[in-house]
Structure 1
Amino acid sequence: MFFKNLCFLKKAIVILLSQIIATYAYAVDLIDNGSVQKAVNYTYFPYTVEVTVLNSNTPVETFECQITKRSHNRAAQWPYRIGQCVNTNSTEVVVGQLQTDGTIVPIKSKTDNVLWAASSDYSLSFERIDTPLVLDFHNASRLLERGTFGPTLTDINATVGLTPEQWVEAQLAISPSYHLEEYLRIQEIRASENGSSQEHRNYRSNAWWGIALNSEDQLRQRVAFALSQLVVVSQNDAGLSGDDRAKGLAIYYDILVEHAFGNYKDLIRDVTYSPAMGRFLTMAGNLPPDPENNQYPDENYARELLQLFSLGEWKVNYKGVIRKDKETQQPIPAYTEEDVLELARLFTGWDEDNGLLSPMVVTASNHDSEPKRILGRSFPGNETAKEELERLLDILVSRRETAVFVSTHLIKQLVTSNPDKHYVERVARTFNQTQGDLAAVVTAILTDPQPYESNPITVSKAREPIITMTALYRAFGSQMGDSYPHHRDTSLGYGYDAQYSPEGHRFSQGPLSAPSVFNFFPANFAPSGPLEDNGLIGPEFALYTSAEIPHLSNLVFRKLKDDNTLTGDVAGLADNRLFLDYSTFTGLWTTDDKANFLALLADTLFDGSLSPQLEQRLGDVYDDMPKGNHDNMYKVFWMAAMSPEFQIQE
């Protein structure tokens, strides 16, 4: 039976795609009309409303109603709200139809005394009564999937009973954990052991994994990782690949940590000053134009700042819908080639001052101080490079396109690959209204109602391989061997290159190691098949190639099989490996308590519940394993970790 179930693993990623589509429910657009949008659209289901019957805008009667769900008449394309309305005289179940003026008129009722409201002389006005969402176990776990590197049972139980706002507010107050500080701590320990204070990229890897798995400021670190896939710098670049560049990359990552809850303008300013970015996008040493000597400014950073770090390619509305020219019906570009050329002139005169360890500086004589025109705005000339940069950043952060582009990226990284357009709008407007306050943006993302709905399309995304690993490590309370840290890579038990490079036969994803400025995967990648056929995207699926799926599966298999402790004690265990703690499962396995074993596994990895299909599969594997040997537990865990239900964050 176990080997029969192994066939399931080979098809896991295909099932990931088909299972999402199989459970696809038509996503009803919520009311998009003035005050009615504010009244209904921002709430959780169920929610309470006051329904006032109006006659020529004069209140006739007011009901207090519980709206329990929404449904859809596909033929008529009318959104509905279904709920129970109560007044002093009767109890009715009312189905309301959305009118062109934004009102909702009852069209069905169990009683007759509401039918008069359906006449043309009357309409209904909805006003929300706020009821905060109090997190149960399921939603607490879902919130932690989005806002951390993976839920732990301790954290889930501590979050139950809070509102999303309370959890986010507590995370915003935690002091940041800095990667350079941890890098230097590991370097110092290593130097005391062998007398060498060498630089090493393993130290940066160790620092990242230690902070990702154990830090208290989980939300900040999770957002920093999301930003590292937006303002991309990679150690795979020739100028950043050596061990002696690792400290500089730790400094760059700390820019992302520092500004994860700060202002986007400040983030882009420090990214621009960064020598790591200066090398990666070849802006360092940029000189003004000198046509006689065939010298022209490098356009690389100028182009990517506009296309990948702020505006995106096209002009959009707040919902992220591309705007088109009225005459040609072609998408309107967010910037022009002339903008890139002019912006490249702005980024002249910058160069390194202390290698990768200090911000870049400007040599005034190398800066093009002539007038410029960028994004329709005039730069008068005779300004310093820093003054021109400040003027530019004000323009970029105020643009609607930047608000939508950055907000959409963070939503896709944290919550869902296919967000509802109204969700995008709410978050983007927060960005715009706060002029790029990322703390407010992240709060808007995680406290919005959409992440807590049950539509599998608008609340789900595939886990990246590295997030699969962090989630498993955190779920099973992983610990290093007792003499950590070691100078070797201590995160997955492989050497650095074996762990992160395609040649290493593991998985090709690691912090600041994207193959290009376009990140690990295209932002709008849609795998061929049911996702593409339904107009949906799944960017992370670009990593799940026929070569990478076995690598990840083998990595998970080895970790679960070889690197674990049945007692929670890591004394005497290797100092270059993370060990997963199976101690809470050991007694249940020994006593053959199948029901509680699977229930604990559901709480640990699946937000508190297993689908009937997965429960059957895991139960079959469980039944096939002799209970006298604890080593067999990993086989159940492996099946669970490679299942569609775990590989899809929902």
Structure 2
Amino acid sequence: MEAQKWLGRTTFGADYSAIQSLVGTDAEEWLQAEIDKPASLYLSDLLARQSAGENIDGYKHRDVLWDNMIAGNDQLRTRMLFALSQLFVVSDDTAYNATPQIAYYMDVLSKNAFGNFRDLLEEVTYSSAMARYLTYWRNEKGDPATGRMPDENYAREVMQLFTIGVVELNQDGTPKLVNGKEVETFTNDDVEGLAKVFTGLSWAGPNFYQEDAGSQYKRLVMFDYMHSPEEKRFLGTVIPANTGGDESVKIALDTIFEHPNVAPFISRQLIQRFTASSPSPEYVKRVADVFDAGTFTALNGRVFGTGERGDLEATMAAILLDPSVNDDNNYPSEGKIREPVLKFVNWARAFDIRNIDSSREGMLDDTSSPSTGLGQQPMRSPSVFNFYRPGYVAPGTETGAQGLTAPEFQVVNQGSIVSFMNFMTAFIFDTSGPADNFIPDYSPEIAIADDAQALTDYLDLLLTGETMTDEAKADIVDAVSSIPVASDADREKRAKLAAFMTITSSAYAIQR
């Protein structure tokens, strides 16, 4: 049971053999080995395919990401890529030459997943995908004669959404209060000053407005003659007039990174993506302290991190090895609601999908529709605010009544629940695409399908970590028992029905 839950937090899911192989092993050693795995890189793969004659126009990056989520070896790193893509949000519907540009961005997140947050922030800032999305690509310096002002989009969001948030925070993530009131982290003057920093960035080429071939999916280049030469004031920092563009960006990112809000702001959101939708302030503080220290020592003495502030390896170790994560009795609110993408990919991995080629699965082309898909598509958020807000409290729910945040509920409603059921019906019952593609292996379930109770108990372990209620399991047993067994085809029907009922159960919707 604990092995299943661990893999549910650290990977996109696991089949029974993977769960059994983890039993009795050391979590800290497993975690270090996973962190040390080389990163999957998406751009080089896609460009190699293009060189071999394959057409990568459109959204081919989606296919390689789906494939890696389901079958990739670097599972924790890919989970981190997915988590970071929901913090540093871009969307492939605004990218130019979307496939290689977004693939480059996915490489940025993958390479820096367990590096330092300051380095990640810089790589994101100099990425074409972010510059296109938040409109500072070819952002020109101001011109008093025409009244042109630098674009303020990235200046605002890099503070508001990516690093420090809008109010001053205690180390435990709760708002600081002065005379009973929250204190804003920045003003519009700060935004205006910071906006001047992000001027002069464009694709590499002979000049600001002309690019070299392939530069759309490489690091942005600073053209100082288009960078604002003015003095820049923000967050208590002053960059002197006539400071070069790259140096201005460095000073700005250093200033933002050193803000005390960064540790609790980032720590809480990473916790939400891996272990707890509504983490306690104590949990947030423990992780934020590690973010600031840059190192984490596990109970067995293993040390994670370099000792430099912002070390994401140490931060992730603190999140995943926190005592609250494996103690449901003393920390009942520390579970996480599974978002739709995780629910789907967990099914695919649990049933050891074979012949994986997402490009042949039309239903995976765009899963963002809440009425026909999952209501969520990796790398295609509907806005810079992601699919859901980290502080979302769902009205009319038990979690809402307790004041608990539940971001994932923001993409869940009656229509999306029905859509998820229809989506999973197509995949579980093999009607989603070509018959020779995305083939689930139900042989372990078929082998025990004569015994409806044994089948139900097995799937309860495999998919929920034995968290289903007796009533829910009884419903599955009754439904499965209604299918008479005369052949393996009947056993397969039982297996698929039991899988469907488990995956659409409330227990499967919660990751403990």
Cα drift, residue 149 of structure 1? 0.8
Cα drift, residue 150 of structure 1? 1.1
Q: Please give the alpha-carbon distance, in whole angstroms, between the structure 2 residues aligned to 1:139 and 1:290.
A: 61
Give the structure 2 partner of residue 539 of structure 1. 407
Q: Please give the alpha-carbon distance, in whole angstroms, between the structure 2 residues aligned to 1:420 and 1:342.
A: 35
1:615 to 469, 473, 477: 473
Q: Deviations over 1:291-312 (max 9, x none)?
A: 2211000000000000001001
Give the structure 1 partner of residue 363 of structure 2. 494
1:293 match: secondary structure: coil
Residues 547, 602 of structure 1: alpha-carbon distance in 2 compared, 3 angstrom cutoff: closer
Whether 2:497 is the aligned partner of 1:635: answer: yes
Q: Please give the alpha-carbon distance, in whole angstroms, between the structure 2 residues aligned to 1:217 and 1:230.
A: 20
Cα drift, residue 186 of structure 1? 4.9
- Would the aligned equivalents of 1:265 and 1:397 in 2 still touch at CA under 8 Å? yes
Q: Please give the alpha-carbon distance, in whole angstroms, between the structure 1 residues aligned to 2:280 and 2:364.
A: 41
Whether 2:374 is the aligned partner of 1:507: answer: yes
Cα drift, residue 202 of structure 1? 4.5
1:596 to 443, 454, 465: 454
Whether 2:105 is the aligned partner of 1:236: answer: no
Letter matched to residue 217 of structure 1:
D
Cα drift, residue 563 of structure 1? 5.3
Letter matched to residue 598 of structure 1:
T
Give the structure 2 partner of residue 216 of structure 1. 73
1:440 to 297, 314, 319: 314
After superposition, where does 1:5-404 map in structure 2 within 5 Å? 138-184=1-47, 186-187=49-50, 191=53, 197-237=54-94, 239-240=95-96, 244-326=97-179, 329-353=180-204, 354=212, 355-404=215-264
Cα drift, residue 541 of structure 1? 0.9
Cα drift, residue 621 of structure 1? 1.2
Letter matched to residue 593 of structure 1:
D
CA RMSD across the alignment: 2.0
Cα drift, residue 623 of structure 1? 1.3
Cα drift, residue 633 of structure 1? 2.6
Cα drift, residue 330 of structure 1? 1.8
Q: Please give the alpha-carbon distance, in whole angstroms, between the structure 1 residues aligned to 2:382 and 2:121.
A: 21
1:373 match: secondary structure: strand
Q: Please give the alpha-carbon distance, in whole angstroms, between the structure 2 residues aligned to 1:549 and 1:324.
A: 39
- Would the aligned equivalents of 1:531 and 1:538 in 2 still touch at CA under 8 Å? yes
- Would the aligned equivalents of 1:236 and 1:514 in 2 still touch at CA under 8 Å? no
Give the structure 2 partner of residue 516 of structure 1. 383
Q: Please give the alpha-carbon distance, in whole angstroms, between the structure 1 residues aligned to 2:494 and 2:414.
A: 28
Residues 639, 187 of structure 1: alpha-carbon distance in 2 compared, 3 angstrom cutoff: farther
Tell which structure's C-alpha radius of gyration is larger. Answer: 1
After superposition, where does 1:441-480 map in structure 2 within 5 Å? 441-455=315-329, 457-480=332-355
Q: Please give the alpha-carbon distance, in whole angstroms, between the structure 1 residues aligned to 2:468 and 2:419.
A: 26
1:559 to 427, 451, 474: 427
Q: Please give the alpha-carbon distance, in whole angstroms, between the structure 1 residues aligned to 2:253 and 2:26.
A: 35
- Would the aligned equivalents of 1:599 and 1:609 in 2 still touch at CA under 8 Å? no
Give the structure 1 partner of residue 298 of structure 2. none
Q: Please give the alpha-carbon distance, in whole angstroms, between the structure 1 residues aligned to 2:123 and 2:364.
A: 32
Query: Percent same amino acid among aligned pairs?
Result: 32
The TM-score, its normalising length taken from structure 2, stands at: 0.90
- Would the aligned equivalents of 2:197 and 2:252 in 1 still touch at CA under 8 Å? no
2:414 match: secondary structure: coil
The TM-score, its normalising length taken from structure 1, stands at: 0.71
Q: Deviations over 1:95-151 (max 9, x none)?
A: xxxxxxxxxxxxxxxxxxxxxxxxxxxxxxxxxxxxxxxxxxx22221211111113
- Would the aligned equivalents of 1:259 and 1:266 in 2 still touch at CA under 8 Å? yes
1:585 to 418, 422, 445: 445
Q: Please give the alpha-carbon distance, in whole angstroms, between the structure 1 residues aligned to 2:59 and 2:230.
A: 45
Q: Please give the alpha-carbon distance, in whole angstroms, between the structure 2 residues aligned to 1:609 and 1:454.
A: 11
Q: Please give the alpha-carbon distance, in whole angstroms, between the structure 1 residues aligned to 2:116 and 2:241.
A: 27
Q: Please give the alpha-carbon distance, in whole angstroms, between the structure 2 residues aligned to 1:636 and 1:252.
A: 39
Q: Please give the alpha-carbon distance, in whole angstroms, between the structure 1 residues aligned to 2:139 and 2:467.
A: 56
- Would the aligned equivalents of 1:202 and 1:489 in 2 still touch at CA under 8 Å? no
Cα drift, residue 594 of structure 1? 3.0
Residues 413, 361 of structure 1: alpha-carbon distance in 2 compared, 3 angstrom cutoff: same
1:198 match: secondary structure: coil
Letter matched to residue 624 of structure 1:
S
Give the structure 1 partner of residue 207 of structure 2. none
Letter matched to residue 425 of structure 2:
F
Q: Deviations over 1:37-73 (max 9, x none)?
A: xxxxxxxxxxxxxxxxxxxxxxxxxxxxxxxxxxxxx
Q: Deviations over 1:191-248 (max 9, x none)?
A: 3xxxxx43234521220011111112111110110000000000132x44xxx32111
Residues 181, 625 of structure 1: alpha-carbon distance in 2 compared, 3 angstrom cutoff: farther
Going by fraction, where is strand more abundant, 1 or 2?
A: 1
Residues 157, 632 of structure 1: alpha-carbon distance in 2 compared, 3 angstrom cutoff: closer
Cα drift, residue 162 of structure 1? 2.6
- Would the aligned equivalents of 2:370 and 2:419 in 1 still touch at CA under 8 Å? no
Residues 535, 622 of structure 1: alpha-carbon distance in 2 compared, 3 angstrom cutoff: same
Q: Deviations over 1:547-585 (max 9, x none)?
A: 211111101112111259xxxxxxx9745x311110111
1:422 to 257, 263, 282: 282
Q: Deviations over 1:584-643 (max 9, x none)?
A: 111212xx1234322321221121454312221111112111223133431111111000
User: Which ranges of structure 2 fall in alignment gaps of 5 or more residues?
Assistant: 205-211, 295-308
After superposition, where does 1:406-421 map in structure 2 within 5 Å? 406-421=266-281
Report the count of equivalent residues: 483
1:335 match: secondary structure: coil
2:439 match: secondary structure: strand
1:647 to 494, 501, 509: 509
Q: Please give the alpha-carbon distance, in whole angstroms, between the structure 2 residues aligned to 1:611 and 1:597.
A: 15
Q: Deviations over 1:378-412 (max 9, x none)?
A: 22233221112222222222222111111111000
Letter matched to residue 512 of structure 1:
M
Q: Please give the alpha-carbon distance, in whole angstroms, between the structure 2 residues aligned to 1:200 and 1:545.
A: 34
Cα drift, residue 250 of structure 1? 0.7
- Would the aligned equivalents of 2:43 and 2:107 in 1 still touch at CA under 8 Å? yes
Q: Please give the alpha-carbon distance, in whole angstroms, between the structure 2 residues aligned to 1:451 and 1:475.
A: 22
- Would the aligned equivalents of 1:418 and 1:457 in 2 still touch at CA under 8 Å? no
- Would the aligned equivalents of 2:10 and 2:75 in 1 still touch at CA under 8 Å? yes
Letter matched to residue 388 of structure 1:
S
Q: Please give the alpha-carbon distance, in whole angstroms, between the structure 2 residues aligned to 1:475 and 1:495.
A: 18
